[in-house]
Structure 1
Amino acid sequence: MSRMAYQYVVLRCVPRPDREEFLNVGVVLHCQAADFLDASWHVDADRLRALHAGIDVDQVCEALAFVDRVCRGDERAGEAARQPLGQRFGFLKAPRSTVLQPGPVHGGMSADPARQLEHLRERLVG
């Protein structure tokens, strides 16, 4: 198998932007050569509550489910989900002022983008 270039962003939950604290909760990976865009996430509610006791964990999970829907092209995600994969990734990696924020874009090479996504989620999120 040949290795293909990919890009990814780590999704961060920022419960209180004024404190600039965050917890990694997911990863979005795009590989143009494999026509691949997907997200993988895990929310540790106890760790989030340690950052901010009043955080709405369900809201964080809903935001992450929206990311999943954009990746899959699910019509419930609106206009973003109807775009080509590269534009969907662009939408997901754009800076936001919400509780769920993407980190910087990183890249790499992989023969299996789906396996690489799970590896990154395990390593960077837990």
Structure 2
Amino acid sequence: MSTPAPAVRGQAFSGHNRISTQALTSLAKAAAASALGVDPQDVRANWTDDDGLLALSLVTPISIPPLRAVALDPGRVQAFGGSIWERTVQAKARILETVTELSGARLSRVDIRISGASIHEGGRVQ
């Protein structure tokens, strides 16, 4: 006869839970890569203390459509989610939300520096 597992919801346990800097960095790189349509290994992430909260700084390329395709059809920019500026602003909010939701860490801000462009044929990369 098996006994049911104890209820976890609403119950507090003693001890500490810690998420390593390496785990947070991997999560931040994956969130940024997803938001900007690039490979996670192309993203650099750095953490700093911001009055007790974490500030995330990212250096990353961003995916863009081929320039020839944009010249023939300017609507391709919107198919990728807008201008580089618009996409970066949207990505900041998405990255902050994703990292906070998945890790429980409290971030004060996300700073993004675009370091280059990665050309992709398809539409918007999510």
What's the TM-score, normalizing by structure 1?
0.29
Counting helix residues as a fraction of each chain, which structure ranks higher? Answer: 1
Which has the bigger relative contact order, CA under 8 A and spacing at least 6? 1
Which structure has the bigger radius of gyration? 2
